[in-house]
Homo-oligomer: A and B are copies of this chain.
Amino acid sequence: MEKVIFTPIGVVINAFDEPTDPKTMRNSISTLALDPKYAGALEGLEKFSHLQVIYYFDRSPGYVENIHPMGDPSIPMRGVLATRSPCRPNPIALTLVKMISVKGSDVEVAGLDALNGTPILDLKPYVNHFDAPVGLERERDSSYKPWDCGSKM
């Protein structure tokens, strides 16, 4: 299949230069330091309580087919795509975080489990209607036109 190429939109800045107790990481603050050219693209993000951060597991040890979930040998091995391990075919991470603030092109968040210096690929506002299973049971708004995105409409 044809390769897909992305340019990170910024990097994570926090206190964790190496893997740390996940509870500590999830209770900490990180700055998503985006390229300043994206300051305008963040307009309105501060109104959301939570964000989904898609980042690159740049220190993934590489793909393995099966793994003990959460590195716990007491849990039976499982296909890596049935876990959230970094050792997946494309080392893409997704973490839900709490919004603290947006200042220029810096987004301060709580709960990110990424290491310091991690490349950020995308941010999305968390919307319960789309991102929680309950939303899938409800009727969707038929006026939603995700592909209709002319440059200045």
Contact = CB atoms under 8 A, between A and B. Distances in A.
Contact of A1 (B7, B50, B59): B7
Contacts of A56: 4
Interface string A2-13: 111111111100
Contact of A132 (B41, B71, B96, B149): B96
Contact of A54 (B66, B83, B92): B92
Interface string A88-120: 111010111110000000000011010000010
A90 B9 contact: yes
Contact of A151 (B40, B64, B72, B97): B64
Interface of A: 1-11, 19, 21-23, 26-27, 35, 38, 40-45, 47-50, 52, 54, 56, 59-61, 64-68, 70-73, 78-90, 92, 94-98, 110-111, 113, 119, 121-128, 130-133, 135-136, 139-153
A121 B42 contact: no
Given A66-B43, A84-B130, A6 B141 contact: no
Contact of A70 (B35, B71, B82, B143): B143
A35 B44 CA distance: 39
B136 A82 contact: no
A38 B11 CA distance: 30
17 contacts: A1-B7, A1-B35, A1-B119, A4-B121, A6-B6, A6-B90, A9-B90, A21-B142, A27-B140, A44-B82, A67-B149, A70-B143, A70-B146, A72-B143, A85-B149, A92-B122, A96-B136
